[in-house]
Amino acid sequence: MSSNPLNGATFVLAAHEIVQLPFDQGAEVAFAGRSNAGKSSALNALTGHNALARTSKTPGRTQLMVVFDLPRLKTEAAEPLDCRLVDLPGYGYAKVPEAMRKHWRGEIDAYLKMRRSLRGIVLIVDIRHELKEFDATMLQFCADTQLPCHVLLTKADKISRSQAQKALDAMRKHFRDNNVPGTAQVFSSSAKTGVEEARARVMVLLATPRPHEL
C-alpha cells in the first residue's frame, strides 16, 4: 500500500458548470490559484502522478473544474467517506477571453458558496510576489465563511531560504490581521519542498467536517 494517501487520485470528469459536478456528498478539497502560480505542478507533486493535472508553458490551460476521486477515507462514522480533489480553473491569465473570465468568476463563486461537501481550499500563491487581487479575495471569502484554507507558497526553490521565511511570516500576519482560518507553508514542486506537509494538511481538511455537517 502506498504511503502517499493521495496517490490513488483518478480523473473523474471536467465540468463547465457546477451542475455537472458529482453528487454533492462526502468530502472534497478544492485547489485554487492564479494561472501561473504552479497549481497543476502542485497537484501532480502531491498525488505523485506526473501528468494527473495538465501542466503547460502556457498558463491558464485549466478552463474547467476538474474532479479527481480519492480512495474512500476511513472515519469514526460507520461508512468510509467519499473523497475528491477539485482543480478549479486557473484565474487571471490575460489571454482568456473576457466572457470566459466572467463565466468562471460566477462558477467559482457559486461553487464556493453552494457546495456542501467542500471542506477546505488549497490556495496556490507564487512566493515571489505579493498577494494578487484574486488571492486576497479568496482569503477574504474564507474569513467571511470560516472555510478552512491552506496556502502553498510555491516556487520557493527560486528564492533564498530567508526570503521564503519572510514571505511565510507575511502570509501568517495576513491571516491574523484578517481573521482567515488558514495555515500556510513554503512549497516547491520541482524541489519537493514541503510536499509531505502539504499532503498531510489536505488529509486533515478532508477528514474535518464543517459546522453544517455536524
- pLDDT tens track for 35-81: 788 998 999 999 998 878 765 455 445 578 999 999 998 877 668 88
Which tens digits make up the pLDDT trace of 105-118? 888 899 999 999 99
pLDDT of residue 55: 57
CA distances to 28, 57, 101, 173, 184 from 177, rounded to whole Å, are 27, 36, 30, 6, 14
In the chain, where the domains are located = 10-208
Half-sphere exposure of 95 (CA within 13 A, CB side): 8
Q: Is the Cβ–Cβ distance between 8 and 63 less than 8 Å?
A: no
- pLDDT-based confidence at residue 33 (cuts at 50, 70, 90): very high
Which tens digits make up the pLDDT trace of 166-190? 999 999 999 999 999 999 999 999 9
pLDDT of residue 95: 62
What does the chain come to in residues? Answer: 214
pLDDT of residue 114: 94
Q: Determine the topology of domain 10-208 in CATH.
A: Rossmann fold (3.40.50)
Q: Strand pairing of 118-126 and 149-154?
A: parallel
